Structures are given as structure tokens and as C-alpha cells.
Structure 1
Amino acid sequence: MAKQEPINFEQSFSQLEALVHKLESGELSLEDSLKSFEQGVSLVRSCQTALNEAEQRVRILMQEDDGLATRDFDVQS
């Protein structure tokens, strides 16, 4: 059996958006809504883990000789 490769942040987020649209449509049965919700929770956790790991990598890259130099991230840049 081939090992399934983990999906990346963008794929997880895209799948999460699609699930939200399906749930918001109100056309799913209760059982399908619950399954979609469970899948969504799993995707949110996956996305959060990816974001936490990315933040940690940025912090490591910003590390200076005298300790960690944290700076505000400017989204506009």
C-alpha cells in the first residue's frame, strides 16, 4: 500500500474553504454536515500546525547572537 503524502497548507486551506461553502449552502443532510464539520476541524488543526511551524522557522531565522530579535511583521510590505 502506497504511503499517502501529506497535503500542504494551501491545499488544506482550499479544502477548508470548499467545506465552509458546502456547509453554508444548507443543502447537506445532518449526517453529511457532521462529517464535513469533522473534516473541517481536522483541516483547521493541520493549517494551524503549518502556521505554527512557519512562525517557528521565521523566529529561528531572525535569531541574533544576543538572543531572539522579534519584529512586527508588516503585511503591507
Structure 2
Amino acid sequence: MNNMDNMTYEEALKELEEILEALESEDITLEDSVKKFKRGVALYNYCSKILNNIEGEVKILIEDNEGNMLEEDFQVEV
């Protein structure tokens, strides 16, 4: 697959895993290694973008003292 626009996260991750396996193989030429590496970087960036977009949409429901459910933005501590 060349175009990532219509790929799901799972499809992109699967292809990235296949690229990693191929790069670990001793049966790959230097030229193919470079092509696969470039594709892998693009897939990694694509997956990161998807995760960052999803992270921005995640909400956590918290119950207050009166039993009401409150919605808050999900905060990631780095």
C-alpha cells in the first residue's frame, strides 16, 4: 500500500510490523532497506497522528460527591 489516507490505524500498524520484520531479515538489499525504512517512518508518523487526534477526543467520566457524572478532558502526564 502506498497511500495512507484510507488506512486504519490497525492496517498501518500491521504494515509497520511487517516492515520491521523485513528490515531484521538478512535477505534484503540495501536499496530495499532504505525504501522500507522511509515507508516505516511515514507509517510511524501516520500512526502517531491518529493517536494524537484520538487523545484529544478522549473524555473521562467522573462521579462527583452527589453521584452525578461529570465529563472532563483527558489529560496525559508526560
Q: Same-fold call, TM > 0.5?
A: yes
> Displacement of 1:23 after TM fit?
0.3
- Structure with bigger gyration radius: 2
> Displacement of 1:27 after TM fit?
1.2
Higher relative contact order structure (alpha carbons within 8 Å, sequence separation ≥ 6): 1
Percentage identity across paired residues of the two chains: 32
Task: Give the corresponding residue for 1:19.
Answer: 19
Number of aligned residue pairs: give it.
66
Structure holding more helix per residue? 1
> Displacement of 1:69 after TM fit?
4.7
Task: Give the corresponding residue for 2:49.
Answer: 49
For structure 2, which runs of at least 5 residues remain unmatched after alignment? Answer: 62-71
Structure holding more strand per residue? 2
For structure 1, which runs of at least 5 residues remain unmatched after alignment? Answer: 73-77
- The alignment's TM-score, normalised by the length of structure 1, stands at 0.71
AA aligned opposite 1:31: E
2: distance between equivalents of 1:44 and 1:24? 17
RMSD of aligned residue pairs (Cα, Å): 2.9
